[in-house]
Structure 1
């Protein structure tokens, strides 16, 4: 998002740079509890709600400052003084307005049902909070034999991984269409799904099979019928189509007070509901020895009680994914509670319709959101906690529910308006003491004690921050948002809350484009945990990696893959960016030496060499691609385009081929033009990279532009984002360089295959290529010859006498072939000459091979074509481009090879001596007669390449840096000194 904001500014757009802080909810409370050493709601209440709320507020403000400073260091583009806080009264009032709107539409209701519940936190957890908080846990599973009342010595086998729910059992469910086996053991007949008998070897073979429908209605003895809470419960078998035979026994223990599905089943069958646990997860009175015991700690005790009752058939540890609290990580239970809900029935269709108009990246996320919306339940918006949005619900005993929509309404309905005015902020406990008079019966009414789901705070932002209630016209200017980005987990969090609340209020999506990226993991592929030693704290990352590197790592990450964040990845980014830094350093070094008359960063020379014009053309193509990538929110593609331009075009070709131009001593028109072109390109690259790497590009810009042109914009981030200049586009030159580089690449591959170092000169390279490729490459033939280190390039019609072609089968996916045809294909290919195979591929794009009665066509991707040189040649090919290098070594070539090796040795000595690039040197060489003659013959080349003003023979004077080396079988002593 920081990259997008910076880009929008440089393109003269008007984004809103408003940061925000989520300030309320369980996630804040749990951290404050840790600080205070609390572990239960009772401790909070003993401490005092006022002190606790103030502690929550202090924590929010403290970490808002920390995050602001970290974000600034990270280069986030924000108007920090205008940050919004969801704990503000204004934000709370907006949520009150939303809830009153829902009440007016008839969507708001109080429900009584089992809820996912955190016993430590003492509150329910919503459906979307629970789905992303599963953990791999091991529980005690038990299989219980429940005796049938209607059939002596017959038992139902029931399996559960939550033994704590068994004291609340009221029924057993079977699938009426499923087959159930009767298995006998020690005179007792047991019922379980036929397909699951094998999991209980002691039962032996079934003696007969019955349909589940035959079991429906049978009565049985409950596992804890002696408990006071079980008095009067008639346990029976009920039908349920959802029962499966995938695990367990195929008979499901039903405890409506401990699970939503069980609760819904109880409504259909008129089953009693036993709620076993309190809000802190302990058994109520009436559960015998279990009373006051934590349900999550009761598995062993319950197994023991079942054994005493002679109904424990089996027990075993069971590992599975189980929901945990998204804030404190404790296992969740399900308990019956009274909670407030927003009915999603009507909103669901509105939200799904709105989602169809949203552009999702990646695209499949739209389907995931639609699936979530299609299956979402009603939104449980209440939490039995303290620091959060106080729900403005005032239920009167007369049946009237009053929902307050603003602080003004609160004052109007308050019994004591002064008390409403005196509330310092709209939070507990201060708001708890304000009573209103019921508009229906005039009786005093107290607000409910619950606070709201923190996702209400997140979802109301498009309204609370844009003046939705104060200035509709201003709000419509900014709504909906063009773009939002978050991790994929927010599909059921922030993205959902925004969409739900926006469609509820306005019937439309609050965003046009959503980018949902994958999670950030540690470098080892696991989640970051302090206890695992793989966590990297942001301050540490900023100190050791630097903000630009971190931003580049995120910007270049594929959004569909989890990011592995670590120091090695940072080192890789630094290595890649070092290429640009070296080009920048080269320009600064030579510009300081030559003092060229630069025309300004936006200017380009009217006349320049073809290579200069080519670079400018490639720059325009890069600018166009980067703009398109940013416009379509493909930041990775934009970064890759700039990286490729820097590495492939700017450094590895342009600077490599123009280095001698900058090196030469005179500042002529061609060198002046080269300076201007490179200056222009460096500034443009800084502008392209600025949204991703704002600090280092600003540093380079300051040195290149304001330091030279004081009237230029004082910051890179105040310049306009580049636009491609059609007048600088040269497709002909781009085609020529592409052809030349392709020929060079094949030639270098030939050298590599023959293990010939590039410093070894060769006499000629023979080229076979399509006429347009050969023609285009000719414009930059000199560059090809120098890079390939050959003396001439000859285009020929055929290389049949110089190369050998072989063809091998290389099919990675054989599923598209007829069965058992690969061996026959290999044989048919072996019978065909490699040259004939390649010729067919070049002519038609495929080769047809007979296999039995059929023919199979193979393409380039199905074959491995290898081109090798015959004696005296090294060869390689890239489809229709083939290069053969004549490896014959003449005495002249050997002398040139010696000179090149000597230049390499001297350059290393210059570097070792830490000479500046402009420093001239003197060279002394001592070698045998033949080597001395070769060096003398190549002395002009050697001196030009090493900036030597003198090359002498014999022993060097004292104090010179001297080295011994063996070159081309000659032992040479070489020494250098600054001139």
Structure 2
């Protein structure tokens, strides 16, 4: 060790972070495969989209994973934390198209090849940015295995899965109602549609019977779709309409004749009991249309513009069409009533456009056979362990009711569908390799399908495609299946379910043993972070101002599995203060470990009570922290580490240690140095997964063996360090010291002023503890005189405190002016009485209680309880002083 200036007065996060991340990278401490005889432990990172910068939600997700992987690495596992990014088809393409629009261009102006060059440039830029952000956060990723969802190996896996599913008849091409994004001009899956509650209208329309004998009333929220109506349906048992079934109606505006049909889909007691049927623009109507062999009339094109089937409205945008059509229908007496109507309207998650149910030829995955296997695995106990377990029910509910998955997207960025069409004979061929000649007729005139696959198709293979599948690579054999997936609860359908059923289908194993679901990061008021609210938090800004360790500690210990986290900058400040507390404690210790080496540490010999106690508390903390991390209870882990470091180590043990460190007993000093070095070393190891930078910086200054704390052994519980008798003794001493300090505070006597202290132990054992620790007590209570004895009598005019094992008396004569102190307390009592009266009056006001928010009323009641509690204490002090 060098002199005490080895550690600067204050901790500089910026300098430490750059230094130690470079050191870890150069030393390849994060690279998997360096412990061939160790048990593997694998996490594959949920790949962030290459759409832009990482946000605070990413910081939470990645920090939790880093805590797990760092702990497992220290526990001796061969750890692999595999990084990577997702091409994010529609999201990334939308970003690049926005950039082109700023230049007055569209992707069609560039053409497919040139446009894709632009997207690859975007990917390289943001993948590099993401990598830099990972480094800033201190993530211990194995960059030698970094993957991207459009990598050659992953593309091979995607084709293999597509071809196999197609060969089994589980991928097919068909015409169905899908979710259509008219802005991005692509199909969307159900889970890419975000529903928003909007104030709209319900339009009541009268369709006249062809024979002129009357009309039927229908209602719709989308009147423009009536132009594609091909029937009106009623319930077969509805007496009002039985006689009309089979008759014809005349569709207003376009004059087309449509039949009245009977179908049990109709709820006869809802509305008029008659429903307009538009097979090309509604999923339920599509099914009705199939049952009755109805025509499928599409009335708008892929941009949401009305087409030739819209008659006089051809060429209008769907929104403009609605306005003009409704006006015309009102003038013709067809639209008889318009009601205000609040309803859920689907919007594209990426473009924000209102989604149109649209009849289109697309590629689909037949989900039922795949889902059945996943359901069977989960219900037989061979499935994934969800944390919290309530998410298992949510997962099962979704896959038990899953519909066929539309996997084709009308985009250019993504995995192109491996299907080729022969221009000569019309045959379609699905293949693993590019088809250059038609297997049916030999023609070389072939055209590949223009569409790409849904992003979630490739990311659903992420846990095994990243490890080399479909090849039986060494990484795949060693690191698959993975151990835990950490992800937000909002993508259990998007991603988690897809990974499970594809893994079972293609690897016969679940992809991960555990799924840890964390919540969303919200602002301090509990609102979702968004650009519109301007309440987003950039993790790099937090790191710049407070350091990576403070941010990591705050978001990880502030989270509970499955629950949302409120981000408060004050909590980051508290985490920074905690880091500074650790730094200052370590710096003090190092000043007193001059010349001390790791080989000098001896925690078996000549240990005093305080030393045995702190080792016991460390031991208990090790056991509990290990259990909590294994249970993914990071908030509780952070709490017990904080309590041990701040309270036990800094506030108590270091203060006790000073007696030996500054004393003349060299044997006691050596024992204290050993324990101090040992406890600080183990403390840095325990806090390291949460605060990697400051723990490495301190650990490197401490007496230690090994290159880096990242690969230092995780502390383990040691039965030999248990010391219940030392705990009992220390608890009595600490209770005495706390009680005396509390009394001092109550009567306004500062620690600089010496007091008389009399202690009456409750028994022989307690008397022995007090007697042999007199020096401790005198020092930490600030006594001028000290007296103890089993038969001690309480003196006159003394403050009394009772703790478990002893009664304490502090004579007040000469210490304070009792009459002056009573006067001060009476003044304080008057203020408290006034506050109590004010709040009582407020809560007794019926108008206030009726109108005020529940939160405000609760706050007033809390004030009342606080003031009343303080008043009772002041009264008790006055009585004690008077007696």
Q: Which TM class, normalised by the smaller chain length?
A: 0.7 to 0.9
Query: For structure 2, which runs of at least 5 residues remain unmatched after alignment?
Result: 1-64, 822-883
What pairs up with 1:231-270 in 2 under 5 angstroms? Answer: 231-236=256-261, 238-240=263-265, 252-270=275-293
Contact (CA 8 Å) 1:322, 1:331: kept in 2 or not?
yes
**Cα deviation, residue 634, structure 1:** 2.9
**1:638 matches 2:637:** yes
Partner of 1:69: 132
Of 353, 366, 386 in structure 2, the residue corresponding to residue 330 of structure 1 is 353
Is contact 2:601-2:677 (8 Å) kept? no
Give the distance between the partners of 1:117 and 1:450, measured in 2 at CA: 14
The answer to whether the aligner puts 1:358 opposite 2:384 as a matched pair is yes
Q: Does 1:369 align with 2:429?
A: no
Unaligned ranges ≥5, structure 1: 178-209, 416-436, 803-869, 899-979
Q: Residue 675 in 1 paired to residue 668 in 2?
A: no
Q: Deviations over 1:31-59 (max 9, x none)?
A: 1101111799x932222111101111111
Give the alignment's Cα RMSD to 1 decimal. Answer: 3.8
Q: How far apart, in 2, do the equivalents of 1:755 and 1:176 lie?
A: 88
Matches within 5 A, 1:94-105: 94-105=157-168
Structure 1 equivalent of residue 718 of structure 2: 725
Q: Is the 8 A contact 1:746 1:883 kept in 2?
A: no
Q: Does 1:116 align with 2:179?
A: yes
Secondary structure, counterpart of 2:309 in structure 1: coil
Alpha-carbon distance, 1:882 to partner: 9.3
RCO comparison, higher one (Cα < 8 Å, 6+): 2
Give the corresponding residue for 1:127. Answer: 190
Deviation string, structure 1 residues 283-329 (Cα, Å, up to 9, x no partner): 11121232122224443223212212213233355444432212122
- Specify the alignment match of 1:511 in structure 2: 512
The structure whose Rg is larger is 1
Partner deviation per Cα, 1:720-779 (whole Å, 9 max, x = no partner): 22222322222332344345545666776677777777767364466779x999998988
Check whether the contact 1:135–1:322 (CA below 8 A) recurs between aligned residues.
Answer: yes
The correspondence for 2:577, drawn from 570, 575, 580, is 575
Q: Which secondary structure does the structure 2 equivalent of 1:113 belong to?
A: strand
Q: Is the 8 A contact 2:306 2:321 kept in 1?
A: no
Alpha-carbon displacement from aligned partner over 1:664-684 (angstroms, at most 9, x marks no partner): 365722223222211211111
1:167 paired residue number: 227
In 2 relative to 1, CA 573–296 (structure 1 residues): closer, same or farther, beyond 3 Å?
farther
- Cα distance 1:755–1:336, how it changes in 2: closer, same or farther (>3 A)? farther
| Distance in 2 separating the partners of 1:23 and 1:725 | 48
Match of residue 716 from structure 1: 709
Number of aligned residue pairs: give it: 748
1:544 paired with 2:545, answer yes
In structure 2, the CA distance between the partners of 1:891 and 1:505, relative to structure 1 (3 Å rule), is: same
CA separation in 2, counterparts of 1:737 and 1:161? 74
Q: Mark the CA change 1:67 to 1:164 in structure 2 (over 3 Å): closer, same or farther.
A: same
Matched residue of 1:233: which SS?
strand
Quick check: 1:347 aligned with 2:347? no
> What CA distance in whole angstroms lies between the structure 1 residues aligned with 2:259 and 2:106?
41
Q: Give how far 1:75 is off.
A: 0.8
Q: C-alpha distance in 2, partners of 1:414/1:6?
A: 49
- Are positions 1:693 and 2:691 aligned together? yes
Correspondence for 1:522: 523
- The offset of 1:465, in angstroms, is 2.2
Q: Aligned with 1:323: secondary structure? A: strand
Give the CA deviation at 1:18.
2.7
- Hey, what's the Cα distance between the residues in 1 that align with 2:269 and 2:123? 48
- Give 1:371-450 correspondences, 5 Å limit: 371-395=397-421, 401-405=428-432, 407=433, 410=434, 413-415=435-437, 437-439=438-440, 444-450=445-451
Over 3 Å counting, the alpha-carbon distance change for 1:559 and 1:704 in structure 2 is same
CA-CA distance at 1:112 after TM superposition: 1.1
SS at match of 1:293: coil
Residue equivalent to 1:451: 452
Alpha-carbon distance in 1 for matches of 2:641, 2:91: 40
| 2:330 aligns with one of 284, 307, 310 | 307
Match of 2:306 among 283, 286, 310: 283
Taking a change above 3 Å as real, the CA distance of residues 164 and 765 of structure 1, as seen in their structure-2 partners, is farther
Q: Residue in 2 aligned with 1:8?
A: 72
Q: Deviations 1:875-902 (Å, cap 9, x if unpaired)?
A: 678xxx598654642347999xx9xxxx
Question: What SS does the aligned partner of 2:411 have?
Answer: coil
Instruction: Answer yes or no: is the 8 Å Cα contact 1:520–1:564 preserved in 2.
Output: yes
Q: What per-residue deviation string (whole Å, max 9, x for no partner) do you get for residues 69-107 of structure 1? A: 111111111222431121122211111100111012221
- Following superposition, the deviation at residue 215 of structure 1 comes to 8.8
TM-score when normalising by structure 2: 0.76
Q: Deviations over 1:792-851 (max 9, x none)?
A: 577799x9x99xxxxxxxxxxxxxxxxxxxxxxxxxxxxxxxxxxxxxxxxxxxxxxxxx
Q: Distance in 2 between matches of 1:666 and 1:610?
A: 18
What do the CA deviations read for 1:537-591 (whole angstroms, capped 9, x no partner)? 2332221232112211222122322122343231121123332222113223444
**What are the superposed Cα offsets for residues 591-618 of structure 1, whole Å, 9 maximum, x if unpaired?**
4xxx354444864352121101111111
Q: For residues 634-693 of structure 1, what are the alpha-carbon distances to aligned partners after superposition, in whole Å with 9 as ceiling and x for unaligned?
A: 33333222212112211222123334444x365722223222211211111111121221
Q: Shift of the alpha carbon at 1:221?
A: 4.7
SS in 2 for 1:4: helix
Alpha-carbon contact 2:82-2:145 (below 8 Å) kept: yes
Q: 1-side partners of 2:802 and 2:222: how far apart?
A: 68
2:30 alignment partner in structure 1: none
| Corresponding residue for residue 565 of structure 1 | 567
Q: Secondary structure at the match of 2:80?
A: coil
- What's 1:19 paired with? 83
Residue in 2 that maps onto 1:501: 502
* Structure 1 residues 497 and 893: CA distance shift in structure 2, 3 A: same
Partner Cα separation in structure 1 for residue 610 and residue 171 of structure 2: 70
Select the residue among 45, 56, 59 that pairs with 2:122: 59
DSSP 3-state at the match of 1:672: helix
SS at match of 1:64: helix
Partner Cα separation in structure 2 for residue 627 and residue 453 of structure 1: 41
Q: CA deviation at 1:23?
A: 1.9
Conserved 8 A contact 2:246-2:259: no
CA contact (8 A) 1:20 1:84 kept: yes
Q: 1:735 to 1:666 in 2, by over 3 A?
A: closer
> Structure 1 CA distance, aligned partners of 2:295 and 2:279?
8
Residue of structure 2 equivalent to 1:45: 108
**1:120 and 1:330 in contact (8 A); partners too:** yes
SS in 1 for 2:590: helix
Instruction: Give SS of 2:337's match.
Output: strand
Question: Closer, same or farther in 2 for the Cα pair 1:796/1:383, shift >3 Å?
Answer: farther
| C-alpha distance in structure 1 between counterparts of 2:754 and 2:791, whole Å | 23
Specify whether residues 444 and 597 from structure 1 end up closer, same or farther in structure 2 by C-alpha distance, changes over 3 A only: closer
- Look up the SS of the partner of 1:414 in the other structure: coil
Q: CA shift at 1:531, angstroms? A: 4.1
Partner residue of 2:203? 142
**Conserved 8 A contact 1:117-1:334:** yes
